[in-house]
Amino acid sequence: MLMESPTTGFDALNLSEPICRAVRGEKYDTPTPIQQKSIPHLIEGRDLLGCAQTGTGKTAAFSLPILQRLSEKRPAPGSKGPRALILTPTRELASQISDSIRVYGKHLSLKQAVVYGGVSPKPQISALRRGVDILIATPGRMIDLYQQRCLRLDQIEIFVLDEADRMLDMGFLPDIKKIYAMTPDNRQSMLFSATLPDDILRLTKQFLNDPVKVSVNPPASTVDRIDQRVLFVDRENKGALLESVLQEDSIHRALVFSRTKHGANRIVKNLGKARIKADSIHGNKSQAARMEALRKFRAGKVRVLVATDIASRGLDVEGITHVINYELPNEAESYVHRVGRTARAGATGVALSFCDAGEKGYLHNIERTINRLVTVIADHPYHSESIASKPKRGSSSGRKTSSGRNYNSAAKPGKNQNRKRYFSAKPGKKTRSRSPRSAVSA
């Protein structure tokens, strides 16, 4: 059997043998572009601004250099404060980063802790008192623990702000600035963001010192492997359309997005009446309930997970074949993050968007952001030609439906004889990349 040359794998990035051994144990052979571009600079101690979509392997891009540096340098005598701090916007992302670091550092004697709200702080406080090297945290709970004097930040050597644009969207900027001011001036800092709006660029100037800038995809672009399609439908018919779509055998694991928490619960209830197993995840659910919903979704006990945008970032579930926008987001960037939940780790995926009359403007903004027209699926039983024919979306010349009809031509609702080719991944493409495997799911 041919062995991969060390000059083409993680060994070429000057990572230590225990880290490379852990990575190989996960069958990750080839670094992703964000890892190739980031890891050497981070090992050298440079500050870094990384622009990368979710699913590109950025967690490993910052985790591996952190493990390398902390394992090479002994902590100060008697110190129990964390030496690396990773801030994330959501509990789910914090847990996933913690899991990844545990895997990559399994051959190292480093300790970590993860703190977030929605659960009892007592186990988190106990972990901090025992001493940790790496702390993964959401801002709110971390500030609470700091103010209770359960946490010290004077030993921080590395500071990571992950999903920075999402942090700002969620109103965490004051907390982020407060936390950053608590850390030493000579820290190494990293900021990762899927998009680079002006607010992020201003934050970069405040937080980073002569940073290396790494970008592996244009801001707000979508992964090429995602087959994006739009279905025009009257709002009152969306529930029936969703039930119809979910009858398709090719939809093995679907993530459905609703704009509101109550809407997500209503969708789950209606799917249950149609004997389609589904669960929901949103901000009104306790952390325990959210983790249980994710557990059942990962285990295949429910085929459909209905979520608000709380899950559009940081949710890493292998094998999501379809993302369904039951309601289009009012921000184009949110669309990018939503559909990025599929086509991960070398897989293909499908993104279906239900568009009613009031969402045509949202769709137009999305298409401008991703710089492409989304394929129209007209051959479904709830197609609304009145919505499809409205010239709201800019120039319609040359727009094609999936059956080759012009965008403005009359669409005849068919018998859905060819529905499978609309709702399944493009023929001829693998559903899973086998060799070489890249560490993009971390």
Q: Tell me which residues of the chain have a pLDDT lower than 70.
A: 1-8, 54, 77-78, 217-224, 311-314, 345-346, 391-442
The reply to whether 246 and 166 lie within a common domain is: no
- Is the same domain home to 86 and 180? yes
Q: What 3-state DSSP class applies to 370?
A: helix
Whether 233 and 105 share a structural domain: no
126 and 68, same structural domain? yes
Domain count, the chain: 2
Q: Say what the pLDDT of residue 434 is.
A: 32
In a domain, 430, yes or no: no
Residue 341: its pLDDT value, please? 85
> Is residue 439 situated within a structural domain?
no
Tell me the residue length of the chain. Answer: 442
Beta-ladder partners of 215: 51
Kindly report, residue by residue over 249-258, the tens digit of the pLDDT. 889 999 999 9
- Residues 35, 60, single domain; the answer is yes
Q: Is residue 437 part of a domain?
A: no
Sheet holding 254-257, edge to edge: 278-281, 304-307, 254-257, 322-325, 349-355, 226-232, 375-376
Question: Residue 154: its pLDDT value, please?
Answer: 93
Share of the chain residues as helix, strand and coil, in percent rounded to the nearest 5: 40, 15, 45
Torsional class of 373: left (φ above 0), alpha (ψ -120 to 50), beta (otherwise): beta
pLDDT for position 416: 39
Is the pTM here over 0.85, yes or no? no
Q: Look up the CATH number of the domain holding residue 310.
A: 3.40.50.300
* pLDDT one-digit tens code per residue, 100-130: 999 999 999 999 999 998 889 999 999 999 9
Domain end call among 191, 215, 239? 215
Per-residue pLDDT, 441: 41
pLDDT of residue 7: 45
- Whether residue 320 sits in one domain with residue 269: yes
Residue 245 domain boundaries: 226-423
The pLDDT score that the predictor gives to residue 396 is 41
